[in-house]
DNA sequence: CCATGTGAACCGGTTCACAGCG
DNA sequence: CGCTGTGAACCGGTTCACATGG
């Protein structure tokens, strides 16, 4: 309400705040009332000093010599992430991945609501997924307009991702999470985030293979 | 075969190489024989200079004044990523997300083979997903040993992810891709990569909300 | 002449060490 | 005395501008 808003928060920090929020929710459910940076950091898989620096972006919110109050910190982070109000999302492409996303409870509990599931395959339309009925792609503009959905999730095959993106943007969507393996072009003012599952696996495999090579070289190089 | 191996490649570069590889495959299928850094960069969604720097880690592989030969570059990247040989993976947790992963063609075409799908729910065992039969969790050690699978993918609920991880590591898995929303602890020498779908959405929502605030402040601050 | 390849500045983020305070 | 909060060094990665060479 007033102006104790921190000017800006690094994107990397925002991503971790979301993780802390999840851990804090678990702690709160377990009845814990306070945590130290060390404990919270270890549960989140990060370095304690880094965690404290992350939290410093919200202004002081711990008690020196003691730690952080779970309930307070949780509320504080949720407020900064904008998690208090619910946000309407549409999801396009209800294949295996789309169904997984529609069903995933983690979204609902964080204030994201899928107000529309869309697919162009007649066979998919009408199916009930995560309590919602899949609608034909033709309805997408109407739903986006009616619900003022500002977030769109694309889980279609790569070939149709760009046209789907264009339609979403034209209908008023301002943020897009893309699971299709193509780089999407969108006008300025529209955020696009890319999640590429096979890239993750490829990086992992590379690191694994790297682990071997240096060991082998150690003998030959010295 | 010889030692023209670059000493080391930044992880961020490895991730992008995987993307370039996909784009190049598409270009090759389309019959293209050469590309410039600008064109390839735009298709991959990155900056041209950055792309050239990425490729420089493989040693010179373009023709000045012309561009890159699609087939050659493709083979070169595939070789560096180790994509020539097929790698055995096991996948634990065949819910919606697990099924999506098992079905995803993008893995197979990049040299990843799921040699075992596992779930502890008796109802899931025996199902046929992506051409493979789901096996009971009890078989996991046997399969990992027999196939020498070095990569494990976890798509279970958060509560069981850590014990599953422990079993995989004990059985010989050295790299783990974790989709469960918990930080996994693993011994040194085991790589763990975390993919958190709801975090991505949360970051996107935050950026979207940020877009509004500065605009509003502009009037009040001046 | 044009696009690659790269050295050098630049930037954001991470780590460290310690000052500050309950 | 312990844990938070933070300024300063540190590091990896990105961007830029230009030298290099077909």
- Give the DSSP letter string of A12-81: HHHHHHHHHHHHHHHHHHTT--EE-HHHHHHHHTS-HHHHHHHHHTT---SBTTTBEEHHHHHHHHHHHT
In angstroms, the Cα distances linking A138 to A92, A98, A131, A134, A143 are: 11, 18, 21, 12, 10
Residues B191, B197, B202, B204, CA torsion sign: positive
- Within 56-115 of B, beta carbons closer than 8 Å to A belong to 81-83, 87, 89, 95-97, 99-101, 103-104, 106-107, 110, 112
Instruction: State whether the beta carbon of B203 lies below 7 angstroms from any atom of strand C.
Output: no
**In chain B, residues 17 through 46 whose Cβ sits under 7 angstroms from any atom of nucleic acid strand D:** 46
- What are the two backbone dihedrals, phi and then psi, of residue A175, each rounded to the nearest 5 degrees? -135, 135
> What is the pLDDT at residue B217?
57
Q: Which of B45, B100, B151 sits opposite A96 (nearest CB)?
A: B100
Asked if the C-beta of A177 comes within 8 angstroms of chain B's C-beta atoms, the answer is yes
Closest residue on chain B to A209 (Cα): B82
> What is the pLDDT at residue B218?
55
Rounded to whole angstroms, the distance from the CA of residue B14 to the C1' of nucleotide C5 is: 19
Rounded to whole angstroms, the distance from the CA of residue A54 to the C1' of nucleotide D7 is: 15
Rounded to whole angstroms, the distance from the CA of residue B13 to the C1' of nucleotide D12 is: 11
In angstroms, the Cα distances linking A22 to A31, A48, A69, A101, B198 are: 15, 17, 15, 18, 10
> What is the pLDDT at residue A95?
95
Spatial separation of the C-alpha atoms in residues A107 and B184, rounded to whole Å: 21
Closest CA to A129 of A139, A120, A119, A138: A119
Closest residue on chain B to A82 (Cα): B206
> What is the pLDDT at residue A215?
64
Helix segments in B81-139, DSSP class H: 96-103, 105-108
Spatial separation of the C-alpha atoms in residues B151 and A36, rounded to whole Å: 34
Q: Which of A87, A203, A209 sits opposite B11 (nearest CB)?
A: A203
Instruction: State whether the beta carbon of A57 lies below 7 angstroms from any atom of strand D.
Output: no
Closest residue on chain A to B40 (Cα): A183
Residue span(s) of chain A under CATH 3.40.50.720 come to 87-198
Chain A: give the shortest CA distance to residue B176, in Å: 8
Nearest nucleotide (C1') to the CA of residue A49? Answer: C15
Name the residue with the least CA to C1' distance from nucleotide D13. B12
Say yes or no for a CB contact (<8 Å) between B15 and A82. Answer: no
Say yes or no for a CB contact (<8 Å) between A44 and B183. Answer: yes
Helix, strand or coil for residue B151?
strand
Say yes or no for a CB contact (<8 Å) between A19 and B153. Answer: no
Residue span(s) of chain B under CATH 1.10.10.10 come to 6-81
Tokens 């082998």, residue?
A216
Instruction: State whether the beta carbon of A53 lies below 7 angstroms from any atom of strand C.
Output: yes
CATH number for the domain whose boundaries are A87-198: 3.40.50.720
Give the residue ranges of chain B where pLDDT is below 50.
1-5, 220-222
**In chain B, residues 52 through 81 whose Cβ sits under 7 angstroms from any atom of nucleic acid strand D:** 53, 63-65
- Within 192-211 of A, beta carbons closer than 8 Å to B belong to 193-211
* End-to-end Cα, chain A, rounded Å: 64
Tokens 């690191």, residue?
A207
> What is the pLDDT at residue B71?
98
- Reported as a single tens digit per residue, the pLDDT across A147-199 is 999 999 999 999 999 999 999 999 999 999 999 999 999 999 999 999 999 99
Q: Are B83 and B110 in contact (CB under 8 A)?
A: yes
Helix, strand or coil for residue B19?
helix
Say yes or no for a CB contact (<8 Å) between B191 and A211. Answer: yes
To test the contact with chain B by mutation, choose from A96, A107, A111, A176 the residue with the greatest count of B C-beta atoms within 10 A, namely A96
pTM over 0.85, yes/no: yes
Q: Which of A22, A193, A206 sits opposite B200 (nearest CB)?
A: A193
Cβ neighbours, 10 Å, residue A136: 14
> What is the pLDDT at residue B53?
98
Instruction: State whether the beta carbon of A48 lies below 7 angstroms from any atom of strand D.
Output: yes
Q: Which CATH class is domain A6-81?
A: mainly alpha
Instruction: State whether the beta carbon of A185 lies below 7 angstroms from any atom of strand C.
Output: no
Give the residue ranges of chain A where pLDDT is below 50.
1-5, 220-222
Tokens 């264009």, residue?
A166
Say yes or no for a CB contact (<8 Å) between B207 and A11. Answer: yes
Instruction: State whether the beta carbon of B68 lies below 7 angstroms from any atom of strand C.
Output: yes
Q: Which class for A49: exposed (0-12), middle (13-18), buried (19 or more C-beta within 10 A)?
A: exposed
């Amino acid at each position: 309400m007033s102006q104790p808003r921190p000017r800006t928060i690094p994107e990397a920090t925002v991503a971790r705040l979301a993780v802390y929020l999840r851990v804090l929710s678990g702690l709160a459910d377990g009845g814990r009332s306070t945590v130290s940076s060390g404990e919270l950091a270890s549960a989140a898989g990060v370095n304690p000093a880094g965690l404290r620096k992350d939290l410093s972006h919200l202004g002081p919110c711990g008690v020196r010599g003691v730690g952080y109050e779970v309930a307070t910190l949780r509320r504080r982070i949720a407020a900064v992430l904008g998690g208090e109000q619910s946000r309407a999302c549409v999801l396009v492409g209800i294949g295996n991945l789309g169904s997984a996303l529609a069903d995933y409870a983690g979204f609902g509990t964080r204030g994201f609501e899928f107000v529309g599931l869309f697919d162009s395959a007649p066979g998919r339309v009408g199916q009930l997924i995560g309590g919602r009925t899949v609608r034909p792609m033709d309805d997408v503009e109407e739903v986006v307009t009616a619900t003022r959905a500002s977030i769109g999730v694309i889980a279609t095959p790569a070939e149709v991702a760009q046209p789907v993106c264009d339609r979403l943007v034209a209908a008023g969507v301002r943020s897009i999470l893309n699971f299709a393996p193509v780089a999407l072009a969108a006008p300025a003012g529209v955020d696009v985030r890319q999640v590429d599952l096979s890239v993750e696996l490829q990086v992992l495999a590379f690191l694994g293979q790297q682990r071997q090579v240096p060991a082998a070289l150690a003998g030959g190089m010295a």
